[in-house]
Structure 1
Amino acid sequence: MEAVRSPVADKVVEFRGVQLQTQAFGNPASPPVLLIMGVMSSMLWWPERFCEELAVQGRYVIRYDQRDTGLSTYYPPGEPSYSFSDLADDAIAVLDGYGIEAAHLVGMSMGGFVAQEAALRHPRRVRTLTLISSSPVGVGGLPSSAAAYKEHSAAAENIDWSDLEAIADFMRRDSAMLAGTKHPHDAEAASALIARDMDRAPSYVSATNHFMLLSGNEGATLHASRMGKPVLAIHGTSDPLFPIEHGEAFTRVAPNARLHRIIGGGHEIHERDIDEVVRAIAGHTMS
């Protein structure tokens, strides 16, 4: 029997002159879950099956393109006229666009930092936080990335960021470097997703503006210890970008946090881990 697909609807949310491309899965009467993806990544990096399965669990799932990704407003490369805090406000603006008073926020990697800032600055708009492959804001002294990944990242300085094929090649290598040890890396699927993301964006290179925000975060005074919402950290034990100690730190710092380890998982939502991740999020967002 063919699986029942949840209803899907596209919508553009406008906020302070910015257009944010969004997509919703499931029943609008269900508890809302807002998905916030990481650096240089459009909403396509939230796997469609992940969104559908979470909707089947009785959640109204919304994913969106952050500024400078996908079909949302973009800026000239090297000239982002917005801050990291604006990205946090954008998440709240998406909720406003859907008429949602408060939602469960799910952030991946940099999206986890956006979700934390949104929760710290707009606590009444957030029910719970799920932070995947991320790190607690304001907390230092945690292990740095794996040596091999640092070497790979350093090579980005030699890339011609005006050459889309050179960017695509780097992104393919990046996807492989971020993979865990539990499952084989699907290079073909990763390449197809990267191509789809690049073809869809009017100015894909503008996504590099995100790195400028990370180096000048005006919300640096925020701290995860002041998080008043329940936190679920989902973290791969083989994450090369944010080692597992980053996920474990949430349980020490945030007042109401717990950790779900993906054994052998990397800095990714692997197709074979979707069911496990969906179950964890569904359980965390029951209230």
Structure 2
Amino acid sequence: MTEQLLPVNGVELCVETFGDPADPPVLLIHGAAASMDYWETPFCEQLAAGPRYVIRYDHRDTGRSVSYPPGEPAYEGPDLFKDPVGILDALGIERAHLVGLSMGGAIALQIGLDFPDRVRSLTLASTSPLGDDLPPPADRIRESFSSEAPPTDWSDTEAALDQLIADEKLYAGTLPYDEPARRDLLRTMIARTTNLASAVTNHWVLPDDDTPPARPRLGEVKVPVLVLHGTEDPLFPPAHGEALAREIPGAHLVLLPGAGHELPAPTWNVAVPAILAHTTG
């Protein structure tokens, strides 16, 4: 297991690998404001035992990767979409299986469309093609978008933990939520994050109109696609995953009972075998 700072697209990104570089590479791409820590180490180890060469990384402004002042990211949305390809370049990998969750799924899908020669397969978890024809978020999510809560002091570790836990619970499904384990993981994440205020802020202030919508191009996807989606996803209800699987030629949908907008440990007995089967060959 290694962790290293790599030069990628003119900045430094923190990358960690599991397994043998000779095995099929699987690049994990998490969602907005999420560092590599959210791809939990036991999950990565289960994939590596596949055997797979598993790669996880910190997005810009998360973890140990390049960081900018809160509210002042010196990059744009498309840079986040190009970084995974830059990581493959830095590691000398020609083609990889991409596994993305939420925004990470959108990134993986865009790479599959724009750089198909770099992709062996796509796994899209908690991902949406977006569209007014799809069901809206649950009421509690929409209420959180419009409510004004007191600002969190992100320099206060305990206050930050409380807020991060509250946010996770908001997006969780009906599976048991292991709060002590999540606090341990999030405490580790905070300790290795250069600027937590930047991490929870800067992805959300990026312009949202600088990447064309992918949905009109879903029919162009040529690589094998696995769609993983929680049956209790409060942000993107299951119809979003069903639309992806329906509109991408040959895509395979696996629903995760009880899961929300997440890929928690109770789903791994389904998700890990599905990913390994999908990334064989």
CA–CA separation in structure 2 for the residues paired with 1:273 and 1:283: 16
Residue matched to 1:151: 143
- Asked if structure 2 preserves the Cα contact closer than 8 Å seen for 1:236 and 1:267, the reply is yes
Q: Of 269, 276, 281, which residue of structure 2 is paired with 1:282?
A: 276
Query: Larger deviation: 79-88 or 122-131?
Result: 79-88
Residue matched to 1:199: 191
Residue matched to 1:44: 37
Query: Larger deviation: 79-88 or 230-239?
Result: 79-88
- Cα drift, residue 222 of structure 1: 3.3
- Asked if structure 2 preserves the Cα contact closer than 8 Å seen for 1:233 and 1:250, the reply is yes
Question: Which aligned pairs between 1:78-117 and structure 2 lie closer than 5 A?
Answer: 78-117=71-110
Q: Of 238, 248, 252, which residue of structure 1 is paired with 2:246?
A: 252
CA–CA separation in structure 1 for the residues paired with 2:150 and 2:57: 28
Residue matched to 1:4: none
Aligned-partner SS, 1:158: coil
Residue matched to 2:58: 65
Residue matched to 1:273: 267
Q: How has the CA–CA distance of structure 1 residues 25 and 185 changed in structure 2, closer, same or farther, with 3 Å as cutoff?
A: same
Q: How has the CA–CA distance of structure 1 residues 70 and 254 changed in structure 2, closer, same or farther, with 3 Å as cutoff?
A: same
CA–CA separation in structure 2 for the residues paired with 1:278 and 1:192: 23
CA–CA separation in structure 2 for the residues paired with 1:40 and 1:221: 21
Residue matched to 1:212: 205
Instruction: Map Cα deviations across residues 152-205 of structure 1 (whole Å, 9 max, x no partner).
Output: 3434x4342554444432211111122211x21111122222222112111111
Please tell me the residue identity of whatever aligns with 1:68.
D
Please tell me the residue identity of whatever aligns with 2:126.
S
- Asked if structure 1 preserves the Cα contact closer than 8 Å seen for 2:137 and 2:237, the reply is yes
Q: How has the CA–CA distance of structure 1 residues 217 and 195 changed in structure 2, closer, same or farther, with 3 Å as cutoff?
A: farther
- Cα drift, residue 105 of structure 1: 0.3
- Cα drift, residue 151 of structure 1: 1.8
CA–CA separation in structure 1 for the residues paired with 2:256 and 2:4: 33
% identical equivalent positions: 43
Aligned-pair Cα RMSD in Å: 1.6
Q: TM-score, normalised by structure 2?
A: 0.93
CA–CA separation in structure 2 for the residues paired with 1:139 and 1:148: 20
Residue matched to 2:67: 74
Give the unaligned 5+ runs of structure 1: 1-7
Please tell me the residue identity of whatever aligns with 2:191.
D
Instruction: Map Cα deviations across residues 58-87 of structure 1 (whole Å, 9 max, x no partner).
Output: 111000001010000011111112122111
Q: How has the CA–CA distance of structure 1 residues 187 and 30 changed in structure 2, closer, same or farther, with 3 Å as cutoff?
A: same
Q: 2:151 aligned with 1:160, yes or no?
A: yes
Residue matched to 1:22: 15
Q: Of 6, 12, 16, which residue of structure 1 is paired with 2:5?
A: 12
Question: Which aligned pairs between 1:229-240 and structure 2 lie closer than 5 A?
Answer: 229-240=223-234
- Cα drift, residue 139 of structure 1: 4.2
Q: How has the CA–CA distance of structure 1 residues 47 and 242 changed in structure 2, closer, same or farther, with 3 Å as cutoff?
A: same
- Cα drift, residue 241 of structure 1: 1.3
Please tell me the residue identity of whatever aligns with 1:47.
E
Instruction: Map Cα deviations across residues 13-35 of structure 1 (whole Å, 9 max, x no partner).
Output: 20232101001001100110000
Q: How has the CA–CA distance of structure 1 residues 239 and 187 changed in structure 2, closer, same or farther, with 3 Å as cutoff?
A: same
Report the count of equivalent residues: 276
Give the unaligned 5+ runs of structure 2: none
Please tell me the residue identity of whatever aligns with 1:33.
V
Aligned-partner SS, 1:286: coil
- Asked if structure 2 preserves the Cα contact closer than 8 Å seen for 1:85 and 1:217, the reply is no
- Asked if structure 1 preserves the Cα contact closer than 8 Å seen for 2:98 and 2:120, the reply is yes
- Asked if structure 2 preserves the Cα contact closer than 8 Å seen for 1:175 and 1:190, the reply is no
- Asked if structure 1 preserves the Cα contact closer than 8 Å seen for 2:78 and 2:211, the reply is yes
Q: Of 55, 63, 71, which residue of structure 1 is paired with 2:48?
A: 55
